[in-house]
Chain A
Amino acid sequence: MLDAHLVVERDRFRLDLQLRIDSGEVVALLGPNGAGKTTALRALAGLQPLSAGYIRLNGQTLADPDRRLWTPTERRSIGVVFQDYLLFPHLSALENVAFGPRSHGLPRRDARARAAGWLSRVGLAEQARARPRQLSGGQAQRVALARALAVDPALLLLDEPLAALDARTRLDTRAQLHRHLAEHPGATLLVTHDPLDALVLAERLVIIEDGCVVQEGDAATITAQPRTDYVARLVGLNLYRGRASEHTVHIGPGFTLTVADAATGEVFVAFPPAAVALHTHRPDGSPRNTWPAVVTGIQRHGDNVRVQLAGPDGIAAAADVTPAAAGALRLDPGQQVWAAVKATETRTYPA
């Protein structure tokens, strides 16, 4: 089990991250570029010194600057899959995987046997003699995974393991990676900026921005109740923060939403872009939230068209409309429209 409090201070950046991962658990560390994800991974691997905090793995303290404790990388029970894999170019796939077991003191024959076993587990028995440059991207990724797992690490660290792959390879490789991570008895930390990778591969998500945790939880909680704009964008929701009294939430001086769930105090209101309807004139009648907005962007989004809107007080929203509706509305950037959302489509939860 991993129990860590990572504090890394550098020029104008500070990472402060509390992290617990049980054995057998897969946790995704998700965040935008520059949030400190890779720094956290490097700190756990011992490639980046801690400014403060501690790292404990299976009851053993690996790092604790206050007590002047520090275990060098090569004596930590870890396995790392680097973003660009870093397979040793002068060694065959087999020798790459055998490198770890040999460094841990296994005789050459045993190390090779173990490496061969791992290569066949990732389906690459036939590529054992191939050099890294002869492997495809997906194959190289699997060799890197086998190499990291071949030392039975108590903590497996993956840095954007699928980022270097094309979309098609990514799908297959993700499914395989999922299977191997599920079988891994140690703790796993997956660093990624891709929400899909995180949602598919991890049981729990830790989301960081600017070096701090902004939200933590399982996939269902995160996708249903995002707490920052970044997370809301990741899971594809419109998100607002405001003061609620009963069914009314004041978001800004000129922007109020009527919501389905009664609440009081500071709350988040979330609704999907598909719940936003667009009209050329102010709709009347039904109990709806309506507000005037200006179209700021139009993109294809799956089968629909995603329209970016700027409302009163500069409050932004995204709306998904069908191509037919977009055509009927003659949407153009700068155009004035009316946005409408039913109260029943909104979700409200405490901030």
Chain B
Amino acid sequence: MRRPASGRAPAALLLPATLGLAFLVLPLLGLVVRAPWATLPRRLVEPGVLTALRLSLQTASLATLLCLALGVPLAWLLARVQFPGRRLVRALVTVPLVLPPVVGGVALLLVFGRRGLLGAWLSNTFGVTLPFTTPGVVVAEAFVAMPFLVIAVEGALRGADARYEEAAATLGAGRWTSFRRVTLPLVAPGVAAGAVLCWARALGEFGATITFAGNFPGRTQTMPLAVYLALEQDLDAAIVLSLVLLAVSVTILASLRDKWIAAP
């Protein structure tokens, strides 16, 4: 019996597809296979690991909050307000997405560095210095992760029916009330998905962080930085740290599978 054409895959496609899958999965498998399972529990509770993990979770969460506070209004502006140069602004927002993170770190140093454009003023006026501090880590992570949030929220806003805002206006709600009580709840799933993506990106941030904030254990050394450092001294430690990051990423992926991974 012949099966329908859609069920058969020609070898010319099947072979590279299998290779592609193996290419994506094998390294992760290698990580799991090579993990020092016997000593894992002891290594997990080593002070260095816990410190790096705690710092990573804290900075990624703070960076996400910063992105939400600034990124949601920015997304609203891009989605709902007609203004000249909107296309340019949208392009600018996505620049950190394609910019090598190291370049982002250098750029941040030039602006927020002790003698940078804003850094000098911040330092003289408020006595605040960002480079090589924990807040600096948050800034670096937010810089790299914010486009994920803005794009996700803008998409959700464009998908939401703007006539609900008109209905709110006919009921006496100003634009702020209408945003707070109608628009935001309507796009809440999009905001949540954007926040999770943003958080995951912030958690894995390496280039901008090490350039702008350095690699000081307990202060600016997040998990990816710790992995990089451990790789030079103790391979097993690097594997353990990587496993932790992998576990966190997979958990996020699983929580998002319906929204982003599922085929349409």
Contacts and interface: CB of A to CB of B under 8 A. Distances in A.
Contact of B171 (A46, A47, A89, A99): A99
A60 to B, nearest CB: 15
A109 interface: no
Interface string A21-52: 00000000000000000000000011100000
Contacts of A151: 171-172
B182 A73 contact: no
A103 interface: yes
B257 to A, nearest CB: 23
A82 interface: yes
Interface string A148-163: 1001000000000000
Contact of A86 (B163, B174, B177): B163
Interface residues of B, number: 19
B163 A147 contact: no
Interface in B142-194: 161, 163-164, 166-174, 177-178, 181-182, 185-186, 188
Given A74-B173, A82-B163, A86-B163, A103 B168 contact: yes
Nearest to B175: A74
A73 B181 contact: no
Interface residues of A, number: 24
Nearest to B178: A74
A45 B181 contact: no
A40 B72 CA distance: 34
Interface in A118-171: 147-148, 151
A325 B172 CA distance: 60
A147 B166 contact: no
A80 B167 contact: yes
Given A74-B173, A103-B173, A82 B168 contact: no
Contact of A74 (B161, B163, B172, B186): B172
Contacts of B177: 103
B228 to A, nearest CB: 44
Interface string A89-100: 111000000011
A72 B173 CA distance: 10
Nearest to B172: A103
A124 to B, nearest CB: 18
A244 interface: no
A311 interface: no
Interface in A41-92: 45-47, 72-76, 78-80, 82, 86, 88-91
A271 to B, nearest CB: 44
Contacts of A46: 169
Contacts of B173: 74, 99, 103
B164 A73 contact: no
Given A88-B182, A89-B186, A100 B172 contact: yes
Given A88-B182, A90-B186, A103 B164 contact: no
A277 B251 CA distance: 79
A74 B181 CA distance: 14
A72 B186 contact: no
B105 to A, nearest CB: 40
B253 to A, nearest CB: 27
B186 A73 contact: no
A247 interface: no
Nearest to B181: A99
Nearest to A90: B185
A323 B23 CA distance: 77
Contacts of B185: 88, 90-91
B170 A99 contact: no
B135 to A, nearest CB: 35
B182 A74 contact: no
B172 A47 contact: no
A88 B167 contact: yes
A86 B164 contact: yes
Instruction: Indicate the member of A47, A82, A99, A151 with the most B CB atoms within 10 Å.
Output: A99
B180 to A, nearest CB: 11
Contacts of B163: 82, 86
10 contacts: A45-B166, A74-B173, A80-B167, A82-B167, A86-B164, A88-B182, A99-B168, A99-B173, A100-B171, A103-B177
Interface of A: 45-47, 72-76, 78-80, 82, 86, 88-91, 99-100, 103-104, 147-148, 151
Given A45-B170, A79-B170, A100-B171, 12 more contacts: A46-B169, A47-B169, A73-B166, A74-B170, A76-B170, A80-B170, A82-B167, A86-B161, A88-B182, A89-B186, A91-B185, A99-B173
The 10 closest A-B pairs by CB, nearest first: A100-B171, A103-B172, A73-B169, A86-B167, A103-B173, A80-B170, A90-B185, A104-B172, A74-B169, A74-B172
